[in-house]
Amino acid sequence: MVDLRNNTIRFVFDLQNYPKEALYGAAYVFLDKAYLFLDNKSSRKIEVSLKGKNKLNEKQLKNLKGEFLNELLNYTVRINLSKNNRKIREYIISQALFSAFGDDQVNKEDEVKYEDDPLGIAIPWEDKYGEKTEKTIKKQNRKTA
């Protein structure tokens, strides 16, 4: 309902279609454009009154309502995406926090010690292959040349 005398447009919508958080998000965005009044008509219906901060004609008031409803839809989509992506977001954050722990805070049971060395990389070359002789050094030099 458009009220030109009071520079206001009123409309009622059902919270069954929109989450209340989306309504508050859209209302917050509109704080600089209009004065907002929210009135519970029932547990599921809310009346929104948008009063222009400047004098608006009927078309401008209807446009204001359309912009508000678009913003309401925008926030509804954002909330739904947030709910759908919750688990992956929590996983990413937990991985980031886990990687931020210092060495002293990591579970010591999960730590691999160099003495375990399943790949044998901690064994010095000489112990693993024996002393280098002149013959093996010349052979290696020929391969790299």
Domains in the chain and their CATH numbers? 2-87 (3.30.70.60), 113-144 (no CATH)
pLDDT at 122: 72
In angstroms, rounded to a whole number, what is the distance separating the alpha carbons of residues 41 and 18? Answer: 15
Instruction: List all residues 6 or more positions away from 33 whose beta carbon is below 8 Å from its beta carbon.
Output: 52, 53, 64, 67
How does pLDDT run across 41-88, given as a tens digit for each residue? 888 899 999 999 999 999 999 999 999 999 999 999 999 999 998 888
